[in-house]
Structures are given as structure tokens and as C-alpha cells.
């Protein structure tokens, strides 16, 4: 009861708004939120696994129900739900159901997002304690369960039980925190908007491929329903257990169908089912595998239109990503990389060891499947994005136009200033030339005066009229002078 109070009680003071900038929580209240975020997914996940085991045990025939046994078995079952390989009587079990894993991932992400909102975190740095609390709790709980299961019929490797749940919870918490607070500033500042468009288109392409795989799996199961119905036994308990097992492994089957639709196929022991090849063998008697074919069909390659349509859809979604066709193709390449990475993750989690018998191992060719999926997205997607989008050179953005206008205004201002500077320079040169001319004129006058003084040609000022008279009116005087004397 105390745990449920911690999980449900609201530590905020009355009147506070969730996630509001003014929310102020005490240290004790923050610790309560972190404690609830750490224990919430563990309690809920463990309870869900125990409930499923209890239902299967109660409905199974010739089985004695034991609450203690169910609670003890729920620990290794929780590890298996988080993709920790377990051992059953010394035999490895690595083909683990993906549906509980997706549920645990969604639960951890939702818990982290809710804790971030209750704490009022507005940045990833502020929400980092939530991630540490959720991931650390999963890692420690997985280690405790693995250590407690040592010596029992179901065992797990302690280092793997510590690392795998912690890593899964960390990724889920990161997704939840990102949903509430956005990407960290360091990542957001470095992301190219075109790359973001490519990431979204890649998520769309992966979802479409999974839908194609699900459609093929559904049709194959419906066509082979007579075989599927024969697998169920008349007893309700056994049939219910097989039904639950099939539901838990549905995402694994859809991933195998996706690999088949794209071409590489999958294998279960000696059975190998591919688009262009088939090798038959015995398969486990579970309803989820009732739709497996008995032989190769010539029309299977026609299913390749499905991944082609997925690539076309990705290219169509990116036709307006950029006016430059080369940039659109780059976005398609990013989308193809996202799809390839998704195929690697899903293919790795869907396969694994299945005991030591004839059905071991169950595998999807991850390397080939990822490369083929990348090609199915990039090749038709690039053609679609190239021909369906614009081909004219992009117009400059308004910021560039404003920069150009400012540059032109700056050029005009510089030209006016330069013209004024030239005029001032010419005026100063003319003033200097006038000053130099006046100085030279004064110097020439002084030089002539000095020269006349040295030659004795300079006469007093009062004799000036006599000189004028000799020049202007003294004709007779000049006339009495002899030519030779005049020349002298």
C-alpha cells in the first residue's frame, strides 16, 4: 500500500501547474517523484508478467497452482521480457518475445515523461536525474533477479541481466524526456533541418514496411487457417497457453515477414524461407507459425511491389523538402539509413537460440536484410523525389535579399563618401598650388630686387619721375646721343 501511495500521490503543492516554470518542489518532493519513477515500471512490469503466468498456470490441466512459484518465476520472465537471454534446464533460450519488450519500453518512456512534467523540467540537463533513476533501477533489479535465480531451473547471466535492462530503460527514458523537453541543445544545434526531414521519412518508411510484413503475415495465416486450427488442442488450458504464446511473438513474426517481403527471408533451424529460394523442414507446433508455406511459389517475387511502394512513398513525402534535387536525394539517403538501422535492431531482437534441438537457431539475415531494405528505400525514393519535385534554382531567402540590399546601401554610402573625399583632396591640392605659386612669385620678386641692387640699377624713389621723363618725354636727349654710345 505504501508503494502505491508513492506512485499515485501528487507531491506538488496545491495550485501548482504541471511543468510550469514557477513550480517549486521541495527536496523531499523531488526525491519522491524520482523514487516513484524508478519503481513504477518495475512494479507494473513484474505484476504484468506474474499475471500472465498465473492465468496460464490456472487454465493449464494437470498443473498445481502455486502463488509462490508464480512470483518466483515472474522474475526470470521479467528478464526475458526485457530481452535477457535465459537458460531452461541448461538449454539456451534466446528467441524472446518482442511484444513484452515493446510494452516495457513504452512504460519506461511514459514514466520518464510524466516525472519530467511533474518536476517542471524545461531542459534535458534538468531531466537527467530522471533518466539515471529509471535506468539505474532497471539495471539493479535485473542483477538482483539474476543472482536470486542462480541454482534454479531458469537462470540468467548476471552481467547481461544488469546491462540489458539498464540500457533498454535508458533508451526509453531518453525518448520520454525528449518528447517532453525536446532534444538536448548540443544535438539540436547540430541537426540539419533536411536531415530531420529524412529521419521522419525514414520512420514512415519503416512503419510502412512493417505494415507490409504484417499484411503478408495476416493473409498467410488466414489462408492457412485450417492448419492453424489443427494446432490448437481441444483442452482450453493448452489452447489458451498457445494463444498467449503466439500473441507475445507476433512482432517477431511480423519482422520475419518483413524480411521475406524485402527478399532475404528468414530461417528456423533447417527451414529456410526466402523470396527466391525455399528449403523445407519441421517447424515448432505453435499457431503463430501455422501460416508458413510448404513449398516455393512462382508468384512470390510479385510481392516486391510492396517495398517498392514504400520507397516511392518516402520519396513522395520528400518531394518538397528542398528545391535542389541533390538535396532531396540526400534526405532520401538519410531515410534509407533509418530504415536499415531499424531492420538491424528488429532482426537482432527477433532471432536467437531456441534450445539445442532441430529448431535452433531462429534467425533473420540482419546484414543482408538491412542493405536490401536501404536499397528499396533509396532507389525508388530518389527517382520519385527527383522527378516529382522542383527543378528550378532556389530563390534566395529573404535574409539574403536583406543582406544584399544592405550591401548595396553600404556601397552607395561608400561611393558618396569617396566622392566627397576626392573633392576635398582636389580643393586642398588647389590651395597648396596657389600657396606655392604665391611663394614662388614672392621669391622671384625678391631675387630680381637683389639682382638690381647688386648691379646698381635701383634708383631712389624720388628719382622715379626723372626716369619717367627720360623714358616718355626725353626725346631730344636721346636724339643727341651717338649710336655707339647708345649701344654701350
Instruction: Quote the percentage of the chain above a pLDDT of 90.
Output: 57
**What pLDDT is recorded for position 151?**
87
pLDDT digits (tens, 9 = 90+) for 107-122: 999 999 999 999 999 8
Grid cell for residue 274: 526466402
- Region label for 15, one of left (φ > 0), alpha (ψ between -120 and 50) or beta (otherwise): left
* DSSP assignment of 286-305: -GGGTT--SS--TTGGGGGH
pLDDT digits (tens, 9 = 90+) for 146-165: 999 998 889 999 999 999 99
**Which of residues 48 and 15 earns the better pLDDT score?**
48
Grid cell for residue 41: 515500471
Instruction: Quote the percentage of the chain above a pLDDT of 70.
Output: 76
**Domain ranges within the chain, ordered by starting residue:** 27-189, 193-388
Q: How confident is the model at residue 476 (pLDDT cuts 50, 70, 90)?
A: very low
Average pLDDT (247-276) is: 95
pLDDT digits (tens, 9 = 90+) for 426-458: 666 666 666 655 655 665 666 566 655 655 544
CA-based nearest residue to 350, from 101, 47, 24: 101
Q: How confident is the model at residue 237 (pLDDT cuts 50, 70, 90)?
A: confident
Average pLDDT (259-270) is: 94
pLDDT digits (tens, 9 = 90+) for 180-229: 888 777 777 788 899 999 999 999 999 999 999 999 999 999 999 998 98
CA-based nearest residue to 87, from 152, 144, 141: 152
List the beta strands (DSSP E) in 262-409. Answer: 266-268, 271-273, 278-279, 362-363
**What pLDDT is recorded for position 184?**
79
Is residue 100 within 8 A of residue 251, CB to CB? The reply is: no
Cell 483442452 found at: 235
CA dist., res. 294 & res. 224, Å (int) = 11
User: What b/e readout covers 128-165, taking b as 16+ CB neighbours within 10 angstroms?
Assistant: ebbbebbbebbbebbbebbeebeeeebbbebebbbebb
How far from 167 is each of 26, 335, 369, 480, CA to CA, in Å?
A: 30, 25, 25, 138
- Region label for 296, one of left (φ > 0), alpha (ψ between -120 and 50) or beta (otherwise): beta
Model's pTM, two decimal places?
0.75
State whether the Cα torsion 145-146-147-150 is positive or negative: positive
Amino acid at each position: 500500500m505504501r508503494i502505491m501511495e508513492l506512485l499515485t500521490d501528487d507531491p506538488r503543492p496545491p495550485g501548482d501547474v504541471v511543468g510550469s516554470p514557477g513550480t517549486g518542489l521541495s527536496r523531499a518532493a523531488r526525491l519522491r517523484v524520482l523514487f516513484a519513477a524508478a519503481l513504477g515500471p518495475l512494479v507494473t512490469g513484474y505484476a504484468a508478467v506474474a499475471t500472465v503466468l498465473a492465468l496460464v498456470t490456472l487454465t493449464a490441466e494437470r498443473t498445481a497452482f502455486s502463488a509462490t512459484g508464480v512470483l518466483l518465476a515472474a522474475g526470470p520472465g521479467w528478464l526475458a521480457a526485457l530481452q535477457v537471454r535465459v537458460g531452461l534446464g541448461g538449454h539456451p533460450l534466446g528467441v524472446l518475445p518482442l511484444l513484452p519488450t515493446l510494452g516495457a519500453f513504452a512504460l519506461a518512456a511514459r514514466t520518464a515523461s510524466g516525472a519530467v512534467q511533474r518536476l517542471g523540467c524545461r531542459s534535458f540537463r534538468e531531466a537527467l536525474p530522471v533518466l539515471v533513476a529509471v535506468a539505474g533501477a532497471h539495471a539493479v533489479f535485473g542483477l538482483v533477479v539474476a543472482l536470486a535465480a542462480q541454482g534454479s531451473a531458469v537462470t540468467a547471466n548476471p552481467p547481461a541481466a544488469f546491462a540489458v535492462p539498464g540500457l533498454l530503460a535508458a533508451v526509453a527514458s531518453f525518448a520520454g524526456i525528449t518528447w517532453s523537453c525536446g532534444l538536448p541543445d548540443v544535438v539540436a544545434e547540430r541537426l540539419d533541418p533536411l536531415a530531420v526531414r529524412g529521419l521522419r521519412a525514414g520512420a514512415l518508411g519503416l512503419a510502412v514496411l512493417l505494415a507490409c510484413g504484417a499484411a503478408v503475415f495476416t493473409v498467410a495465416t488466414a489462408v492457412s487457417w485450417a492448419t492453424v486450427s489443427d494446432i490448437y488442442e481441444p483442452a482450453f488450458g493448452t489452447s489458451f497457453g498457445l494463444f498467449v504464446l503466439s500473441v507475445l511473438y507476433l512482432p517477431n513474426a511480423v519482422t520475419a515477414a518483413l524480411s521475406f517481403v524485402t527478399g532475404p527471408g528468414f530461417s528456423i533451424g533447417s527451414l529456410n524461407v526466402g523470396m527466391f529460394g525455399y528449403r523445407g523442414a519441421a517447424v515448432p507446433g505453435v499457431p503463430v507459425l501455422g501460416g508458413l508455406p510448404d513449398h516455393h511459389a512462382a508468384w512470390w517475387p510479385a510481392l516486391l511491389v510492396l517495398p517498392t511502394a514504400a520507397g516511392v512513398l518516402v520519396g513522395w513525402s520528400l518531394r518538397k523538402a528542398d528545391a535542389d534535387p541533390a538535396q532531396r536525394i540526400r534526405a532520401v539517403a538519410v531515410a534509407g539509413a533509418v530504415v536499415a538501422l531499424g531492420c538491424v535492431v528488429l532482426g537482432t531482437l527477433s532471432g536467437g537460440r531456441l534450445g539445442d534441438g532441430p529448431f535452433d537457431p531462429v534467425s533473420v539475415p540482419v546484414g543482408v536484410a538491412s542493405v536490401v531494405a536501404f536499397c528499396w528505400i533509396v532507389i525508388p525514393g530518389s527517382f520519385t523525389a527527383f522527378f516529382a519535385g522542383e527543378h528550378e534554382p532556389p530563390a534566395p531567402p529573404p535574409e539574403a535579399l536583406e543582406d544584399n540590399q544592405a550591401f548595396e546601401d553600404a556601397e552607395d554610402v561608400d561611393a558618396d563618401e569617396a566622392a566627397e573625399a576626392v573633392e576635398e583632396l582636389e580643393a586642398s591640392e588647389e590651395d597648396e598650388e596657389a600657396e606655392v605659386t604665391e611663394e614662388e612669385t614672392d621669391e622671384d620678386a625678391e631675387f630680381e630686387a637683389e639682382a638690381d641692387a647688386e648691379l646698381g640699377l635701383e634708383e631712389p624713389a624720388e628719382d622715379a619721375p626723372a626716369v619717367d621723363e627720360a623714358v616718355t618725354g626725353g626725346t631730344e636727349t636721346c636724339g643727341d646721343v651717338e649710336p655707339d654710345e647708345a649701344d654701350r
